[in-house]
């Protein structure tokens, strides 16, 4: 049995892990594309047990409490037209998190995180494309040792832009499940564009697509995620 610990740096809400980063860590353990379903907010600085189940499935637990589960998956996603990098730069000026942010210390999209600490992916709306986009230039703290970012940071980058794609009115939502497929790891210092778009909504459940592209608009990674409007708003 393996263990998994999410350091406090990689929070989403202040007291739990960023869902995309957490899913990336789980996928790294699985060594394949998986759908990760979040059952409870993953705690920080806490050893979690990763149990291998039948059929390649995983269960991530804390004591007797199941935190998440993963199952082998194939990502099926229809991509949108890729924004240019400088379109994403302009879109990020419209990031609604600049005016109000529920979780300003979020590792991926938090406005309270300085450069070199948070990823600072600020996805803003491109109305004529019906999607959100943000520039992303990975810093050296994300390096896996060969000049490329670690896989879990590719997964993290695909998280929050999906929220802003389905919650243009800033409705509270939490990540329910995410399937990430990485085509290639981007390099530290490489200029990337992250895009997110709404796929469908059904009551409190909203599905988003997200993708990371390089400066030549080549696909580097993509994800399909389900966001859930909670019945009660969690504490920040």
Is residue 21 scored above 80 in pLDDT?
A: yes
Torsion of CA 13, 63, 45, 47, to 10 degrees: -130
Q: Partners of 131 in the beta sheet?
A: 126
Q: What is the pTM of this model?
A: 0.95
Q: What is the DSSP letter of 64?
A: T
Q: Are 53 and 42 in contact (CB under 8 A)?
A: no
Q: Are 33 and 181 in contact (CB under 8 A)?
A: yes
CA distances from 11 to 124, 132, 173 (A): 21, 22, 16
Pairing of strands 219-228, 174-182: antiparallel
User: Mind giving me the DSSP string for 120-136?
Assistant: ----EEEGGGTEEEEEE
Domains of the chain: 2-72 (3.10.129.10), 85-228 (3.10.129.10)
Residues 37-73: tens digit of each pLDDT: 999 999 999 999 999 998 889 999 999 999 999 999 9
Confidence bin at 209 (pLDDT 50/70/90): very high
Residues 145-189: tens digit of each pLDDT: 999 999 999 999 999 999 999 998 778 899 999 999 999 999 999
Q: Are 27 and 151 in contact (CB under 8 A)?
A: yes
Q: What percent of the chain has pLDDT over 90?
A: 92
Residues 107-118: tens digit of each pLDDT: 999 999 999 999
């Amino acid at each position: 049995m393996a263990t998994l610990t999410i350091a406090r740096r990689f929070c989403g809400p202040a007291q739990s892990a960023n869902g995309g980063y957490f899913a990336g860590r789980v996928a790294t353990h699985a060594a394949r594309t998986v759908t990760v379903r979040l059952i409870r907010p993953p705690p920080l600085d806490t050893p979690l047990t990763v149990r291998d189940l039948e059929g390649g499935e995983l269960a991530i637990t804390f004591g007797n409490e199941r935190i998440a589960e993963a199952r082998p998956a194939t990502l099926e996603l229809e991509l949108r037209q890729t924004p240019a990098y400088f379109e994403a730069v302009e879109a990020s000026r419209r990031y609604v998190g600049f005016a109000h942010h529920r979780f300003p210390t979020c590792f991926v999209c938090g406005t309270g995180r300085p450069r070199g600490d948070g990823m600072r992916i600020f996805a803003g709306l491109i109305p004529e494309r019906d999607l959100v986009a943000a520039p992303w230039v990975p810093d050296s703290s994300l390096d896996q040792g060969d000049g490329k970012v670690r896989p879990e940071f590719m997964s993290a980058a695909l998280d929050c832009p999906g929220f802003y794609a389905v919650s243009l009115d800033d409705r509270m939502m939490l990540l329910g499940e995410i399937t990430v497929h990485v085509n290639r790891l981007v390099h530290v210092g490489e200029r990337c564009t992250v895009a997110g778009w709404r796929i469908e909504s059904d009551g409190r459940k909203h599905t988003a697509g997200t993708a990371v592209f390089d400066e030549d608009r080549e696909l580097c990674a993509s994800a399909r995620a389900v966001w859930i409007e909670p019945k009660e708003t969690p504490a920040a």
